[in-house]
Amino acid sequence: MTINEAQQQVDGWIKTVGVRYFSELTNMTILTEEVGELARIMARTYGDQSFKKTDLDKNLGDEMADVLWVLICLANQTGVDLTKAFQKNIEKKTNRDGERHQQNEKLK
């Protein structure tokens, strides 16, 4: 699935199953909540925290997909073509960091 197809699929789901988009501010808040849930799983899986019983049924991939879902909602609501935005972002990073990381002794 391409990013554009994902944006279309989310839009179709929202307009049929979800009835309508939540407001942009509500979705921004939901995105923050979802990133927090992802952070909790990362901290318990790769960090020093231990899992609570309520966290044991959480799935890392599912939490990442939740973040992506809400991000796509926000892109759809604000008219952002994520394919174009991502391509431009890669170009920006390549131009800005193309040599910087290659010369970073910490990464060798």
Q: What is the domain count for the chain?
A: 1
Local confidence band at 55 (pLDDT 50, 70, 90 cut-offs): confident
Residue closest to 81 by CA, chosen among 37, 30, 89: 89
The reply to whether 95 falls in a domain is no
Q: Using CB atoms within 10 Å of the CB of residue 57, give its burial: 0 to 12 exposed, 13 to 18 middle, 19+ buried.
A: exposed
pLDDT over 90 (residue 53): no
Q: Could you tell me if residue 102 is inside a domain?
A: no
Report the C-alpha gap between 20 and 10 in whole angstroms.
11
- Prediction pTM value: 0.89
Instruction: Say if residues 67 and 40 touch (Cβ distance below 8 Å).
Output: no
Mean pLDDT of 45-54: 86
Q: Strand, coil or helix: what is 56?
A: coil
Q: Is residue 64 part of a domain?
A: yes
Task: Report d(CA 90, CA 103) in Å as an integer.
Answer: 19
Residue 87 counted as domain residue: no
Helix residue spans in the chain (DSSP H): 3-16, 24-46, 60-78, 82-97
CA distance 66 to 35: 8
Query: Is 89 domain-assigned?
Result: no
Domain with 18, as residue range(s), is 3-81
Structure-model confidence comparison of residues 47 and 53, the more confident one: 47
| Residue 32 within a domain | yes
103 in any annotated domain: no
- CATH (domain of 51): 1.10.287.1080
pLDDT at 91 over 80: yes
Task: Dump pLDDT digits (tens) for 69-86.
Answer: 999 999 999 999 999 999
Q: Residue 50 — very low, low, confident or very high, per pLDDT cuts 50/70/90?
A: confident
Instruction: Output 58 or 59, whichever has higher pLDDT.
Output: 59
